[in-house]
Structure formats: C-alpha cells, structure tokens
Structure 1
C-alpha cells in the first residue's frame, strides 16, 4: 500500500492510504498533519500504518517534534498507533474531549491526555485549533472534530465519508457520495444529534473540509454541511414513518 502526501491548505498535509479490499471500490484512510510551531496530527491510523504515517511526517518535520496527537473518536483507524507516536515523540500529548478521556483514553494512552472542554482552543504557536464535541455524530459518545480558526479548515473525522480513491482535494459535491457510503456501511448513529451537529459546524463557515475517508473538500463548507444535515433529517423522518428513504 502506498501512502500519498498532499498539502490541502496552508501548512496542512493529508496522508492517504488506499485499501482496495474495503467496500466495492476501495476505501482511503487519511491522516492530517498541521505543520505548526507545535505540530499536530489528526488521526494516527492503525498500528500497521505507523511506519508509513511516521515516514510521511518525517518528510516534513522530525517525528520527535510532534506535540499534539488528536483524533475524532476511539477506533483503530483513528488512534490505533497512538502509543507508538507517544513513544516516538517524547513531548507529544494526546488531546481529546473530556468524555473520551474519562471513558477510554486515560486508560489506553501511555501518557495522560490533555482534557479539552467543548469549544476550548489550543494555541499551537501560529494558529488556533478549536475542539468541538459532537457526541454520536457520526458515531461514538466521545466523538469530536477540530477546527483551525486560522485557515478555516474543519477536520471532519468520519463525517462526509466517501468510497473509492478520489483526488486529495475537490470542489465537487461530496454529499451525494457520502449518502452512498452511508447506504453501504450504515456507520452513522441515525438520530437528531447528527443533523444538529452538522448545522453547528456549518455555522463556522469552513472553507476546507478535511475528510478521513475520501476526498477533502474546498469551497462552501457551510452549504455542504447543511445539505448533509438535510439528508439525515430525511432519513430520520423516513425511519419514524416507515417510508422508503430518498
């Protein structure tokens, strides 16, 4: 498997590994590296991806300079290599929401994590990274996203997931492909928390959506998030009435 590196915004790099065996058309596993005064990684990848992801980081900055290890929620593809990165970077610390730390990360991480309150901001030296709790959106009680207030990049985690191996960054519609992926995987917690979280994130008016599975998006992120919220509103309503989904 090859891991590609693309700069999707100023100082923000996407590492992408395509796995053709997942789903009918393959699936990408993406990590994002913020090349800041205090470098930040969003998603570590599974443990098996640690050599490839650490090598990708090393082409930008020495891995031992990594300061913040972050991810959307507790799953192998999000944080499987967490402790390998903690061992490789002696100053690194996991930063996550309070719930995630209390129920999992305090025990799983080899060093105690930094607990973040909803809307709390980490100053990484030359940009400000905001933490936002998104419980059950798209899934898991401890789910959250990050927002780079300096570059208007929203690190979406599993939101806007797509199949296949598209370009690193696109201005094409992602809502339709995200609906197709949901039809296949049924990965989202289908409840009111999802559209509510998407509309809260839309209020940030991001110009780049850094997506964990599939292409990242550049353009009107507010509209894309609101359109996806409407898709889930329709699905929730259909489930309540027993009507076929659109």
Structure 2
C-alpha cells in the first residue's frame, strides 16, 4: 500500500485515502470520509487490516475516541470491515445505517446496537461552528446489495456516494474534471453494479438533491457539475448497459407493484 493521505474536500470534511497498487491499472484507492462536527461522523471504516492506518489518519484531524457516528454505504469488507475496531476505540460511537441493513446484518454483526434510519430521515451532527444535517437516502441494489444507501450532508451539499462514480488510479483528492469516462471505465473493468431498472432512477434521484461535492469511495471526489454527471451516468446505464425501466409488476401476495411509490 502507498501512504495513507488526508485531504480536506469540503468545509471540515476530510478524505482519508489509501492506494493499493496491484488491484487495477494505476492502482485503486480506498477512501473514508471524516466530518468534523460536534458529533463527528466517519463514513466508511476501511477493511479490518487497514484499521491502524485509518485510525492514525483520523487522529490527524480529531481524537478517535470523539467519534459519535460511523456509517457506510453497504455491508462489505472495504466499507465496514473495521467497524467493531472503531466502536471499541470510540466508546460513544454508534453505527447509523438504513433500516434494511440494520435488519439484515447489523443487529447481529455489531458489538453495539446500531441506529436504524428510514429513507428521508435526518441525522443531526450538532453545531461546531457549522451546523451539520445528514439526509438518509435509500438506494437498494444500487450499485449493489439490498441494503445500499447513501448520506447527503445538506449544509455543504456533500453526497457520500459509496461505490457510485468509482474510478481507477490514484488521482487528485478532489477534482472538477469530468469523471464520466473514468466512471464508465471502472464499471467496464469490475462490472460492480447490479444492472437493473433501479439504477437510472437512483442516479436521477441523487441528481435532484443538487449536490455540490461527490465524496467517492474509490477515486477522486468531484466538485464540478454533480447533477449533470449523475444524470449522464443514469443515461449511460439505461442506454449502454441496458438498465431500462421495466413495467411495474406486483409481487405475489402484494398489491403494490414493484417500483411503484418511489
């Protein structure tokens, strides 16, 4: 692994990045994000083997024991492998996740009970010079996993988007250069996305939030025209990758069609 780097990508929001050189051409970054607030939030923990370097990086900004919230986009080693290590290091910390993930996995996996968030719930991180409120947005199966969700920090307009908009290589911490082709290349390298009709709708819903910064888990964060990028990716998934919207169909035993009501 290359050295772990800490860079500010938005007001009091920090990207912790470790590049692993042999995963993809030019390497592949694993990023965590730290929100410095009255109730600090760590978004992604990294894999368990990365805990020492990620903890040391957090300590460059604030004491690890001051963490109040830990979150991640879905249940996967690079997203939450070190979650119990961080819970042990931060005695007042609690995992906040979508209700689906809490029900499916986290009630059993975690050493302390998590907080379950419904789609549209707001998590208040308190006021430490700049008030922070985080919106819970459910994105089931996008890019993968039933429990997938993202956080949108409403004050700075930062979207913590997990694996969405992934790129290969070890680029700048944050860029305004167009990431469209880089994101398509990463998709065509790993085929990480569940190629279903929910994908374009999820990207367009996130675009409607009008984020100003995309905090990307793999690759550079983005502070260009975020809504345009997200809508262009929705179009690509729909036309090139075949994620077209299917007619709504009712599940057996249910009156509500699949896809209806969202």
Instruction: Please indicate the TM-score interval, normalised by the length of the shorter structure.
Output: over 0.9
Q: Is residue 74–residue 100 contact of structure 1 (8 Å, CA) maintained in 2?
A: yes
- Summarize deviations over 1:180-232 as a string: whole Å, max 9, x none: 01111000001111110000000000010000000000021110100110110
Q: Secondary structure at the match of 1:17?
A: strand
Figure out how many residues of one structure are paired with residues of the other and give that number. Answer: 240
Q: Say whether 1:228 aligns with 2:228.
A: no
- Say which SS state the counterpart of residue 240 (structure 2) adopts: helix
Question: What is the alpha-carbon distance in structure 2 between the residues aligned to residue 148 and residue 238 of structure 1?
Answer: 28
Tell me by how many angstroms 1:24 deviates: 2.3
Paired position in structure 1 for 2:118: 117
The offset of 1:239, in angstroms, is: 9.2
| SS of structure 1 residue aligned to 2:161 | strand
* TM-score, length-scaled by structure 2: 0.90
Deviating above 4 A after TM superposition, structure 1's stretches of 4 or more consecutive aligned residues are none
* Root mean square deviation, CA, Å: 1.3
What secondary structure sits across from 1:124 in the alignment? strand
Q: Please say if residues 191 and 236 of structure 1, whose CA atoms lie closer than 8 Å, have aligned partners that are also in contact.
A: no
Report the equivalent of 1:158: 163
User: Which consecutive unaligned segments of at least 5 residues does structure 2 have?
Assistant: 246-262
- Other structure's SS at 1:61 match: coil
Which residue in 2 is equivalent to 1:50? 51
TM superposition shift of 1:25: 2.2
**Structure 2 residue aligned with 1:244:** none
Q: Is the 8 A contact 2:237 2:243 kept in 1?
A: no
TM-score (norm 1): 0.95
Is 1:204–2:205 an aligned residue pair? no
Q: CA deviation at 1:26?
A: 1.1
State the alpha-carbon separation in 1 of the partners of residues 44 and 168 from structure 2.
18
Cα pair 2:178 2:224 within 8 Å, conserved: no
Q: Which consecutive unaligned segments of at least 5 residues does structure 1 have?
A: 241-246
More helix per residue: 1 or 2? 1
